[in-house]
Amino acid sequence: MKNSLILHSLPEQVLADFNWKPAPKVKRKRPFTVAIRLSVIEKNLIEERRGSLSVADFMRASAIGQNVTHREMVRRVIPPRVDVELKRQVAYLGNNLNQLTKIAHEYHQAGNLNVVSLASELAYIRYQLDSLIHHYTAPKSDVEINETDKIDEGFAQ
């Protein structure tokens, strides 16, 4: 760092002897800066409307008349709400499947895997998954809305 400071203050002839050239200036795509002052309400309104766009992109698009709200809607993805009970039940099924896989692997290594029993357990997990899919995708009139309603009585135990 100190050498570069010294080189900048040296005469041109000395710099030529070192074959040193100053770094070229970087050309920017947008060389001009515009500063504006906003009230709190204006700033909050911009923050609210810009969505996933940067403030600069939003202001630039607004100034040249682009439909900013359309761009905001396209770029901003709102994640869907997660049903906590569905998440819990799917995690339960995944846990059962992982345990079954581990046990099947151990029994296969030992040479005494009961394929019929394994197929039966897999079929039961598939039945529970199909029941969940039906419960959450069926039209509301087909599904009784009841907090105590369980897909399978032994399912959550």
User: What confidence score (pLDDT) does residue 130 get?
Assistant: 93
Structure tokens given for 122? 């897999």
User: What confidence score (pLDDT) does residue 139 get?
Assistant: 77
* pLDDT in single tens digits along all 157 residues of the chain: 444 445 455 556 555 555 656 667 778 888 888 899 999 998 988 888 877 788 888 888 888 877 766 545 455 556 677 888 889 999 999 999 999 999 999 999 988 889 999 999 999 999 999 999 998 887 766 445 554 455 554 544 4
User: What confidence score (pLDDT) does residue 1 get?
Assistant: 47
Q: What angle do CA 74, 77, 81 make, to 5 degrees?
A: 145
Q: Is 71 exposed, middle or buried (0-12, 13-18, 19+ CB in 10 A)?
A: middle
CB 51 within 8 A of CB 76: yes
User: What confidence score (pLDDT) does residue 157 get?
Assistant: 44
- In this prediction the pTM is 0.41
User: What confidence score (pLDDT) does residue 140 get?
Assistant: 67
User: What confidence score (pLDDT) does residue 92 get?
Assistant: 94
